[in-house]
Amino acid sequence: MQGGQASGTADLDQLVRSAREQIAAAPDEATLEQLRIDLLGKKGVMTATLRGLGSLPADQRAARGARANDVKNEIESMLTARTGALADARLETIGEREWMDVTFVPALARRGHLHPLSLILRDVKAIFSRIGYEVALGPEVEDDFHNFEALNIPAEHPARDTMDSFYLEGSPLLLRTHTSPVQIRYMQAHQPPIRIIAPGAVYRRDATDPYHGSQFHQVEGLCIDEDIRFSDLKGTIEYFCRSLFGADRRIRITGDHFPFTEPSAGAAVSCGICGGAGCRSCKGGWLEILGSGMVHPQVLRNGGIDPARFSGFAFGAGLERLAMLKYKIADLRAFLDDDVRFLRQF
């Protein structure tokens, strides 16, 4: 634009007219921005005009100054108005110009899934943590003492028939057949009060079918203190079963036998499918879910705890069994297959 010597008000009028035309003709916001710089910027026409005021006589300076400021304000407001109008027009058509098919949503993000054994174990841990239990872990490779002897299962005991074991080559060690050895290890390391649950993998040399596998998981519980009674075991089992399966479930405690508890008891919950009337999924309306009992005095002694002073109870359940009941899983083999079509259901 012109930058020369500005003099009369006629120049300023001319400037306003020319600016108005150019602003009205500006097709977009970028052109307007360029106009703003040319007209009002540091090196623009208005700046030059105002700078030129200094050379005028003092009597003209005030009037011309006032007029120049008016012109500057006028141009500024024209620019602002035109910018607003252009923005409005642009936003008017934004829907047309930037249209998307919002129904086509490719799976760019996916979530993974926790294994059902993790899910059920989290439930179990949360339930027991509310009544003061902590988690204890033990090795999966065990010795005969912790897995059998200390639990009143000497060599040739018939209970060993149901716990056929995998042995390590060139070693007397075996894969634990249950999580009960964790009881012994924990007792050896801690005096009562003891309240633990011990989850983990166990191994039996059994052929695989929908209900059996050579590898599965158990969760063991142990509570030892002065004056622990069978009624406490019963209450704990009821609390656990109802917390896990629903407050409406009924619990049945029956006689049972385990070498490491005396008295021993089995626990069943009423079937959630038939409500206890009996169906294909249950046994006469009941689902057996855990074995339990008062810890045998000899087992306490084997763990270094005085049975004259302390008593306690223990219980154990199959995690797969709990998950099968809770999530209606039909086949035990699904737990180790890791078919993603199965895993993605949880």
* Interaction residues for another protein, span 306-335 (CB under 8 A): 311, 335
Token pair belonging to 222: 């142990």
User: Which residue of 223, 289, 305, 314 would you call a contact of another protein, by CB under 8 A?
Assistant: 223
CB neighbour list of residue 287: distance below 8 Å, 6 or more residues apart: 268, 269, 270, 271, 272, 281, 325
Looking at the Cβ atoms of 66 and 114, the one nearer to another protein is 114
Q: Which stretch binds another protein (CB under 8 A): 12-20, 33-41, 62-70, 152-160?
A: 152-160
Could you say whether residue 16 binds Zn ion (CB under 5 A)?
no
Minimum distance from residue 319 beta carbon to Zn ion (Å): 21
Give the nearest residue (CB) to Zn ion.
271
- Tell me if 124 sits within 8 A of 244, measured CB to CB: yes
Closest CA to 180 of 234, 129, 143, 222: 222
C-alpha distance from residue 127 to each of 115, 134, 244, 245 (Å): 19, 11, 8, 11
Minimum distance from residue 284 beta carbon to Zn ion (Å): 8
Residue 274, contacted partner among Zn ion, another protein, none, CB below 5-8 A by kind = Zn ion
String of DSSP letters for 226-261: TT--HHHHHHHHHHHHHHHH-TT--EEEEE--BTTE
Minimum distance from residue 288 beta carbon to Zn ion (Å): 12
* Span 242-281, contacts to Zn ion by CB under 5 A: 271, 273-274, 279
Q: Which stretch binds another protein (CB under 8 A): 36-44, 88-96, 161-169, 177-185?
A: 161-169
Looking at the Cβ atoms of 159 and 273, the one nearer to Zn ion is 273
Could you say whether residue 262 binds another protein (CB under 8 A)?
yes
* Span 191-210, contacts to another protein by CB under 8 A: 192-195, 201, 203, 205, 207
* Number of residues located near Zn ion, criterion CB under 5 A: 5
CB neighbour list of residue 233: distance below 8 Å, 6 or more residues apart: 223, 265, 292, 293, 294, 313, 315
User: Which residue of 6, 184, 265, 322 would you call a contact of another protein, by CB under 8 A?
Assistant: 265
* Span 85-144, contacts to another protein by CB under 8 A: 109-115, 117-118, 122, 125, 129, 131-135, 137, 139-141, 143
CA dihedral 91, 96, 98, 100 (to 10 degrees): 140
Could you say whether residue 299 binds Zn ion (CB under 5 A)?
no
Minimum distance from residue 273 beta carbon to another protein (Å): 19
Long-range CB contacts for residues 119-123, cutoff 8 Å, separation at least 24: 119/323, 119/327, 119/346, 120/319, 120/322, 120/323, 120/326, 120/327, 121/199, 121/219, 121/319, 123/244, 123/326
Minimum distance from residue 76 beta carbon to another protein (Å): 28
Residue 223, contacted partner among Zn ion, another protein, none, CB below 5-8 A by kind = another protein
String of DSSP letters for 58-84: HHHHHHHHHHHHHHHHHHHHHHHHHHH
Residue 42, contacted partner among Zn ion, another protein, none, CB below 5-8 A by kind = none
The DSSP bridge pattern shows strands 141-142 and 194-203 to be unpaired
* Number of residues located near another protein, criterion CB under 8 A: 85
Residues near Zn ion (CB under 5 A): 271, 273-274, 279, 282
